[in-house]
Amino acid sequence: MAVLRRLAPTALKLALAGIIVFFVLRNMPLKLADIESFLAHASLRFYSSIAVFAFFLMLQAGIWVLIVNAAGEEPGKPRNGVKLPLLDGLRIFIDSQFGKYLPGGFWNYAGRVVLASRAGVSLNAQLAAIVYENVLLVSAALCYALILLVSLDIAPAASLFGVILLFALTYVYYNKGAAAIRALFVRVSRRVLLRRFFARLSSLRATQSAAWSGEAGLTRNRFFGCLACFLGSHFIMGIAFWLLTNSFEQGHIGLWYAAGTFATSWLLGLFSPLPGGLGVREGFLVYFLSLKLGAETALYISIIARLWNIMAEVLFWAAVRTVGHLTRRVRTYDEA
């Protein structure tokens, strides 16, 4: 029994890794032979685009760490839970990121909560970070999507002023709106079923930081600071996708058009019932790219984009693991 108890965690980790790899490969639109052939003949610009997109993912993870740590610092109160170090946060983010390929579409968030809880981050900060992160992500993507739609004469130019006005009103009335939303979360957190669930979660983790009160949040300046960070990171994403589309040398699109195309397709992919926006995301990539590059090239890029995305995530994971391993070796050397 003692041997089984020692081996059980390792076996469960291997089983989970195997399931994730299965669904990742299942979502891959190309056969292994086709992938090998493409990668063997891909240009340097293609591999450069992967590196830039991996950097974009690191920025996304870093902003999540900022939100988690800021949400855990309630004004006038002691910090609830530990402050998440950047490297640990990057590792938690990318280790859980592959869960998005599992059926259901929420396993990356579930994995993130489990891993961050083990690191001592309060559940208040985590759940607030999930809400704020998605609101800010969608807001940033909508800005780029609107720029694309205006450039295509699908949306009127006046809509850009509408967005600016909306942000201005949000800034002015942010404190009142945030207080109302926080009060709503506090009332929801008092539900008996939720209290039982989080009490069970607390006992499983042997910590008291799992009690959810719904009171965590971001101040106005931090909210708009994180929004600016997401807008900047989306521009890096646009550069990566622009490099990808132009690496095929079948025509060229502009940088802002590339950023808007990828952001719009990502937004619309949220409505897909399949993991990772499969199908819907690729369909809108084909539509927008075909307006500039032709249908055949657009279809080819949309298929490769899924492989490109996964390769960037793997590169991010490998980089974080390598840095973590080197950091541990340096600490061991210093202690010796």
The domain ranges of the chain are: 49-335
**Does residue 212 have a pLDDT over 60?**
no
Q: How confident is the model at residue 207 (pLDDT cuts 50, 70, 90)?
A: very low
Q: How confident is the model at residue 70 (pLDDT cuts 50, 70, 90)?
A: confident
**Does residue 187 have a pLDDT over 80?**
no
The arithmetic mean of pLDDT across residues 240-258, rounded, is 88
The 10s digit of each residue's pLDDT in 54-63 is 999 999 999 9
Highest mean pLDDT among 31-45, 90-104, 178-192, 224-238: 224-238
**Does residue 295 have a pLDDT over 50?**
yes
* Its pTM surpasses 0.85: no
State which amino acid sits at residue 255.
L
**Does residue 3 have a pLDDT over 80?**
no
For 190, residues 6+ apart whose C-beta sits below 8 A from its C-beta are none
Per-residue pLDDT, 5: 57
State which amino acid sits at residue 46.
F
The 10s digit of each residue's pLDDT in 121-175 is 888 788 888 889 999 999 999 999 999 999 888 888 888 888 899 999 999 988 8
Angstrom distance (rounded) from CA 271 to CA 36: 32
Angstrom distance (rounded) from CA 202 to CA 161: 47
The arithmetic mean of pLDDT across residues 186-208, rounded, is 51
Angstrom distance (rounded) from CA 195 to CA 198: 5
Per-residue pLDDT, 209: 47
Q: Give the position of tokens 């899924």.
A: 306
The arithmetic mean of pLDDT across residues 196-217, rounded, is 51
The arithmetic mean of pLDDT across residues 29-52, rounded, is 79
The 10s digit of each residue's pLDDT in 78-126 is 666 678 899 999 999 998 888 777 776 677 888 888 888 888 888 878 8
Average pLDDT of the chain, as a whole number: 79
Angstrom distance (rounded) from CA 19 to CA 60: 25
State which amino acid sits at residue 181.
I
The arithmetic mean of pLDDT across residues 266-293, rounded, is 79
